[in-house]
Structure 1
Amino acid sequence: MKLYNTLSRSIENFKPIDEKQVRMYTCGPTVYNYAHVGNLRTYIHEDILEKTLRYIGYPVKRVMNITDVGHLESDADEGEDKMLKGAKRENKTVWEIAQHYTDAFFSDIEKLNIKKADVVAKATDYIEEYIEFIKGLESKGYTYMANGNVYFDITKVKDYTKLSGMNLDELRTASREDVHVDVHKKNPQDFVLWFTKSKFENQAMKWESPWGVGYPGWHIECSVISLKNLGEQMDIHCGGVDHIPVHHTNEIAQTESYTGKSWVKYWWHGEFLIDNNGKMSKSSGEFLTLSLIEKKGFKPLSYRYFVLNSHYRKQLAFTYDSLASAENAYLKLKSRIKTIKDNSKDDKEKNIEAAEKYRDDFKKCLEDDLNTANAITVLFEMLKSDDINNVQKLDLAADFDRVLSLDLLKDDQCQVHDELAEYIEEMIQKRQEAKKNKNYQLADSIRAELLEKGIMLEDTRQGVNWKKIN
């Protein structure tokens, strides 16, 4: 297994600390709103990572946090009180908002066939542990008090920028905290461990502490939750690339200062989902959620298929046209498997050697830094092969789906697709005959009729292709 390690900025051979169990941590959602499909892309690839490790024989324990505290009343980007605004809009408390969007997140990942983490930890359940952690850092001289808040002093850490490779000026630019300059910091990159006073008034979530009534800073929860559930050292820490310069950098600084040990062996980061304007986020353009994609007529697993045809370390451009093309390809794949199922009782003898070659090729793609696009190519090649019989094809498809999780052998979406495809092909044939007879008015009317039904035709040198659109 080869995996890219952000810490070394290179692809490394994966070797866990303990062969008996891979310890893995994934940064979870901040539950003040629905999950953006860009965030869900990262969770899909993390799911592939965990399932690949299990597929090749490693036991895995994965922990995920739920951020339901800290910067909940505002996401801090523009200083807008989004959490309180949402609570008022929905006539709920911030606690109810947190629970509502936590439930919505788990509904989304279930639709996307993302395995739930072995341990799901809410930030609000670890307040006492945060206090003990801060007291430990305080006793070692890593903290200072200013304006009632407890800060971590980054100058006490020699290799503070080792994960990002940035200098402090670059980090200052990358930090979202720079939008609101904190004049009480000794250094611009120092960060708050415990707030008793902050830029947000009327913070709803507060607890007693040795430093006063307040609430924990954002970075502390991942450190403490991982220490409590995975121990002082772990194999893999996952998250989006936007976490590298600040959040994960601060996690490393405080955790390794607390334990005196190297903390994470492999840092794994997923790239952005982008549109024509760059990174997609909750604050830019149409807020893309899984529910919105469903309302526009797409299947959740079509989005998973769309994501798996790209590499997690490459930015992925999202358009509804590209999603429509992915859904069409995905449903054709399902239809092909259904046809094989319907004809599974063939007379061809088993070719064990050829079947194992496909299994090995699939595994090698995953072991090559999770190359899911190539793994799907192997799947297609296997299904088209004349070397193995249909029973073997179904067995391999089921085996591959342990990782891909695309419901390949379920018939749920195939029948509708088959009927639709049959109708479209019939209309394409009529249009071709009309063009051959120079009846261009009829040909144009057929194209228009299909377009009204959300089907776009594309004339190519190889023939006519079609795809679903909004």
Structure 2
Amino acid sequence: MLKIYNTLTRKKEEFVPLEAGKVKMYVCGPTVYNYIHIGNARSTVAFDTVRRYLEFRDYEVNFVSNFTDVDDKIIKAAKELSITAPEVADKFISAFYEDTSALGVEKATSNPRVMENMPDIIQFIEALIEKGYAYESAGDIYYRTRKFKNYGKLSNKTIDELEIGASNRLESSENERKEDPIDFALWKSAKADEISWESPWGQGRPGWHIECSVMATKYLGDTIDIHGGGQDLEFPHHENEIAQSEAKTGHPFANYWMHNGFVTIGAEDEKMSKSLGNFVLVHDMIKEVDPQILRFFMATTHYRRPIAYSGTAIEEARVNLAKLKTAYENLHYRLSDSVLELPTDPSFFDKLTTIKEQFIVEMDDDFNAANGITVVYELAKMMNIYSEQKEVSKAVVEAMLGMLKELLTVFGIILEEETQLLDAHIEALLLERTEARAAKNFARSDEIRDLLKNEGIIIDDTPQGARWRRG
């Protein structure tokens, strides 16, 4: 039974989708004014892993994640780069796809953009005005926050707390345009030389919160199964989405709210963010670190827990992933001498069934990836032991290999057999080493091992002979 920790209720709940076998899932995407950093990627990877597990459990997932391509930060970047705001958005949307693809992230079912949905945004705001939930003031449109009952239910905040925070946060000129300090903008009147659209209230552009309400309901319906995003979006962004959406439709907006933890950095475990200037760009990192290692680092921690980013943590992820890959490669090597007719001990298949069942038990507990990967390590241990046997069954080898590939795919790790061609120089060294070992010239054998290591080729001596892999 799959259970999800629901931020709205502050407890784990059995997952019951609106429609059996199908999941409607919306995750807030990036504001595309720069390359994504590891903190941004953590949310993308976390919900890609959730999606992959739902698909592993045979759900059909309609996964929608937006691009915020109209924003103050994008306008500022456009001025700095001397290009248009749409050109900034196009540049960094392409970069997002490139970087997340390297991290093994599947493309969403749909990635709607604000600029492509402007008529829907305007119609949504008009509906809120007609219902009395929004009002115009000097060309801006604001949402009447107090009118929405139970505002603050997601973030567990009271109106009084919000009023104090809003009064301290906003400029007095904006407060003067509002009926109430806690009201928030749905539409902003255009400033000189800024991108804008014609509306019933004059030239302007949408506020940040309205876009997700519009795109989630447009592409998935008035009520969705799962809404996700980073913890920093819980308030005010997601709180405002609920207020907007439920005021317009009269229906619950999302049945399950999921929020991933931050990536922290430094001795003080400070949240990684562009505003603090302590971020590491994925675009740069994947040039230095195998993207699968970064994926493994992020995907194997429980999504609600913070991740402490450090060189030590990346190295630990590298070592653990290498162990799994080695277990796969060692057993795959045995396919060449596996015996098709070898009587198969049924206990091996029973053990594999037990491993898969235990994996599901752990992952069904709010997508507990840390416990899930521990089960995968047990499978790798079993594979290592079996690969050392004098004779191996082809059926057992294939079943084990298939199981490891299937479970690691949930974490976005795709295992492939070593198929790269070696150049003639390295082939010659491998042959010479084989001959040296046969002649018991172990000094030369060790010397060649070191030479190959310098070439990025790791030699593993097994009872079935030497095999190589790229280090």
Map residues 3-22 of structure 1 onto 2, 5 A cutoff.
3-22=4-23
Structure 1 residue corresponding to 2:200, chosen from 207, 210, 214: 210
The two structures, once aligned, show a CA RMSD in angstroms of 2.5
Tell me the CA shift for residue 168 of structure 1. Answer: 3.1
2:140, 2:187 within 8 Å by CA — same for their partners in 1?
yes
Residue 182 of structure 2 is matched in structure 1 by 189
Other structure's SS at 2:154 match: coil
When residues 174 and 241 of structure 1 are mapped into structure 2, their CA distance, relative to the original with a 3 A threshold, is farther
1:73, 1:84 within 8 Å by CA — same for their partners in 2?
yes
Structure 2 unpaired stretches of 5+:
387-392, 427-471
1:174, 1:245 within 8 Å by CA — same for their partners in 2?
no
Amino acid at match of 1:122: R
Residue 239 of structure 2 is matched in structure 1 by 249
With the length of structure 1 as denominator, give the TM-score of the two structures.
0.81
2:150 and 2:318 mapped to 1: Cα distance?
A: 46
Tell me the CA shift for residue 90 of structure 1. Answer: 3.2
Residue 317 of structure 2 is matched in structure 1 by 326
Residue 64 of structure 1 is matched in structure 2 by 65
Residue 461 of structure 1 is matched in structure 2 by none
Other structure's SS at 1:235 match: strand
2:164 and 2:45 mapped to 1: Cα distance?
A: 29
Tell me the CA shift for residue 329 of structure 1. Answer: 2.1
Structure 2 residue 134 is the aligned partner of structure 1 residue 143? yes
2:21, 2:58 within 8 Å by CA — same for their partners in 1?
no
Other structure's SS at 1:324 match: helix
Structure 2 residue 100 is the aligned partner of structure 1 residue 104? no
1:285 and 1:135 mapped to 2: Cα distance?
A: 39
When residues 412 and 256 of structure 1 are mapped into structure 2, their CA distance, relative to the original with a 3 A threshold, is farther
1:379 and 1:87 mapped to 2: Cα distance?
A: 46
Report the number of matched residues. Answer: 404
Tell me the CA shift for residue 180 of structure 1. Answer: 4.3
Residue 271 of structure 2 is matched in structure 1 by 279
Residue 55 of structure 2 is matched in structure 1 by 54
2:182 and 2:365 mapped to 1: Cα distance?
A: 36
Tell me the CA shift for residue 393 of structure 1. Answer: 1.5
Map residues 430-441 of structure 1 onto 2, 5 A cutoff.
none
Alignment deviations for residues 245-289 of structure 1 (CA, whole Å, 9 cap, x no partner) = 100000000100001111110001101001134110012244311
Residue 379 of structure 1 is matched in structure 2 by 376
2:151, 2:159 within 8 Å by CA — same for their partners in 1?
no
Residue 368 of structure 1 is matched in structure 2 by 365
Structure 1 residue corresponding to 2:411, chosen from 358, 381, 404: 404
Alignment deviations for residues 323-378 of structure 1 (CA, whole Å, 9 cap, x no partner) = 12211221232122111111134356253221111111112221111111111111
Residue 423 of structure 1 is matched in structure 2 by none
2:65, 2:108 within 8 Å by CA — same for their partners in 1?
yes
Q: Which is further off, 187-196 or 385-394?
A: 385-394
Residue 108 of structure 2 is matched in structure 1 by 117
Other structure's SS at 1:119 match: coil
Structure 2 residue 300 is the aligned partner of structure 1 residue 293? no
When residues 275 and 203 of structure 1 are mapped into structure 2, their CA distance, relative to the original with a 3 A threshold, is farther
Amino acid at match of 2:197: W
2:109 and 2:417 mapped to 1: Cα distance?
A: 26
1:379, 1:397 within 8 Å by CA — same for their partners in 2?
yes
Other structure's SS at 2:9 match: coil
Structure 1 unpaired stretches of 5+:
75-82, 420-470
Residue 37 of structure 2 is matched in structure 1 by 36
Over the matched positions of the two proteins, sequence identity in percent amounts to 36
Map residues 305-320 of structure 1 onto 2, 5 A cutoff.
305-320=296-311
Amino acid at match of 1:402: T
Tell me the CA shift for residue 54 of structure 1. Answer: 1.2
With the length of structure 2 as denominator, give the TM-score of the two structures.
0.81
2:42 and 2:98 mapped to 1: Cα distance?
A: 15
Other structure's SS at 1:120 match: coil
1:177 and 1:127 mapped to 2: Cα distance?
A: 31
Other structure's SS at 1:284 match: coil
1:353 and 1:362 mapped to 2: Cα distance?
A: 14
Amino acid at match of 1:284: L
Amino acid at match of 2:204: G
Other structure's SS at 2:99 match: helix
Structure 2 residue 25 is the aligned partner of structure 1 residue 24? yes
When residues 194 and 412 of structure 1 are mapped into structure 2, their CA distance, relative to the original with a 3 A threshold, is farther
1:235, 1:264 within 8 Å by CA — same for their partners in 2?
yes
1:129, 1:224 within 8 Å by CA — same for their partners in 2?
yes
Q: Which is further off, 343-352 or 52-61?
A: 343-352
Other structure's SS at 2:66 match: strand
When residues 241 and 171 of structure 1 are mapped into structure 2, their CA distance, relative to the original with a 3 A threshold, is farther
2:5 and 2:136 mapped to 1: Cα distance?
A: 39
